[in-house]
Amino acid sequence: MAEQQNKGKTVIVGLIVGLAVLVIAVLALRGQAPAVPVVNVAREDLNITISSNGKVEPIAPFVARAGFNTFVENVNATEGQAVRRGETILTLDAADVRSQLAQSRADLLTAQNELRNAHAGGPPDQMAQLNGDLEAAKIQVANLEQTEKALEDLATKKAATEDEVAQSRANLEKARANLSALQARKQDLTQRTPETVESAQLRVSQAQDQVRSLEDKLRSAIVIAPTDGTLYSLPVHRGDYVKVGDTLAEMADLRHVQVRAFVDEPDLGSLEPQQDVSVTWDAKPGQVWTGRTEQVPKQVVARGMRSVGEVLCSVDNDKLELLPNTNVEVQITVRRRQGALVVPRAAVREDKSQHYVFVLEGDHVRRRDISVGVASASKYEVLSGLTVDDRIAEPVDRELHDGMEVRAEKGAGEAN
């Protein structure tokens, strides 16, 4: 009897040991399941942005350039200074221009006088002389004609000789020849009047152009601020020699500037006017300037190894900290989704154009097909296939498959 009891106890102990080994084996096998970080599907505002580089430019800058070769006479401002409308920035030596202008004005008066004479047929004194000579010649011819007729009547009555009649005729022919010459001269002047007027008009026009050009040069010798603004470039000094076209000064209202952003060709289709813009500058880390897109590109240009479109963005610069011609980083928000259902981009897989994720169900992951919408740099918008608080697996070194047992760990997006 005692022996049978001992055998029973032995069997029971054996069963207990077997069960313990089995439990340990199962636990050991569970410990071999891969650890997978999981995140909760959640709703949040999703901003889709384009990042690029750009250059700061003033809006409607005033650029003063030298209109003639000369020396800088005086400089009345300093670079970086705020200037008011009407303030003199600098002056150039314009003595030679003043002298040329005086001579050109005298030439213009001469040309205008010649034009008036051309319209009148010639200089007034010469025309008066010609008209006087014509009248005298006509009177002389008329008188000689009367004399000749009178002598011919007397000659028939033997009261005048043939020599007297011949002499009278000779004098009449001479007077008629003189009258014809004077009439021909006046007719020639009359015929040439249009050509003379045209030539005189051309000389007047050329003289007027010369005067205007020199007046413009003379005005440009005094560089005056056309508006209130900041004098951001003043490359010349008193006594410097400048040539035609050299930059003398650059100024603008820098409270509002524009950034020319260089956006890569694949991103151009998302651009529209009035999209939000954020600008950062390495010289002032942590600071952000805001603005909006104003003009989207109409063409693509080569910039180094890139094909880009140049996007003009207006940017607020109230503190005048962004300087013209500086290189900046630009972020353009091209689309917004309020309260979108989102998942990390890294958690989304793709199989023959079908997007899917692995959803955690208990201790296993299950493949679930989803439809995605817009995407930011790190997240996808989910249109269908998931709900809020679904838990999805993030990528791990080991390939996941449908039904795989895993050990869940808190991922970057997992709720506390």
Residue 80 per-residue DSSP state: T
| Neighbouring C-beta atoms of residue 129, cutoff 10 Å | 12
156 exposure class (CB count in 10 Å sphere: 0-12, 13-18, 19+): exposed
Task: Name every residue whose Cβ is closer than 8 Å to that of residue 318 and which is 6 or more positions away in sequence.
Answer: 255
Domain 94-220 coded CATH 1.10.287: yes
The average confidence (pLDDT) of the chain is 85
218 by DSSP, 3-state: which?
Answer: helix
Which region holds residue 80: left if phi is over 0, alpha if psi is between -120 and 50, else beta?
Answer: left
| Neighbouring C-beta atoms of residue 27, cutoff 10 Å | 9
In order of 231, 279, 296, the CA distances from 289 in angstroms are 22, 5, 20
Q: pLDDT tier at 26 (50, 70, 90 boundaries)?
A: low
Average pLDDT over residues 99-117: 90
Q: Which amino acid, residue 235?
A: P
Which region holds residue 274: left if phi is over 0, alpha if psi is between -120 and 50, else beta?
Answer: left
- First and final CA of the chain: distance in angstroms? 62
How do beta strands 289-295 and 241-242 pair? unpaired
Q: What is the CA radius of gyration of the chain?
A: 51
- Above 80 in pLDDT, residue 368? yes
d(CA 290, CA 278): 5
Give the residues across from 52 on adjacent strands: 330
d(CA 359, CA 404): 11
- Above 80 in pLDDT, residue 52? yes
Length of the chain counted residue by residue:
416
- Above 70 in pLDDT, residue 63? yes
Average pLDDT over residues 278-301: 93
How do beta strands 354-361 and 364-375 pair? antiparallel
Q: Structural domain boundaries of the chain? A: 50-60+255-337, 62-92+221-252, 94-220
In order of 3, 28, 165, 408, the CA distances from 14 in angstroms are 17, 21, 183, 35
Task: Name every residue whose Cβ is closer than 8 Å to that of residue 219 and which is 6 or more positions away in sequence.
Answer: none
Name which of 13-22, 90-99, 275-284, 367-376 the model is least confident about: 13-22
State what percent of residues in the chain have pLDDT above 90: 48
Instruction: Determine which helix (DSSP H) or strand (DSSP E) holds 380, and give its type and residue range.
Output: strand 379-384
Q: Which CATH class is domain 62-92+221-252?
A: mainly beta
What is the per-residue pLDDT across 208-233, written as a single tens digit (0 to 9) for each?
A: 999 999 999 999 999 999 999 999 99
Instruction: Determine which helix (DSSP H) or strand (DSSP E) holds 143, and give its type and residue range.
Output: helix 124-156
At residue 173, φ and ψ (nearest 5 deg) are -65, -40
Distance of CA 389 to the CA centre of its chain: 50
d(CA 281, CA 322): 8
| Neighbouring C-beta atoms of residue 138, cutoff 10 Å | 14
How do beta strands 35-40 and 407-410 pair? parallel
Find out whether 256 and 250 touch, Cβ atoms under 8 Å: no
309 exposure class (CB count in 10 Å sphere: 0-12, 13-18, 19+): buried
Q: pLDDT tier at 136 (50, 70, 90 boundaries)?
A: confident
The CATH number of the domain covering residues in 50-60+255-337:
2.40.30.170
- And the tokens for 237? 């000094």
d(CA 69, CA 347): 68
- Above 90 in pLDDT, residue 161? no
Any idea what the Cα angle at residue 193 is, between residues 192 and 197, rounded to 5°? 125
- Above 80 in pLDDT, residue 14? no
d(CA 317, CA 255): 5
Q: pLDDT tier at 46 (50, 70, 90 boundaries)?
A: confident
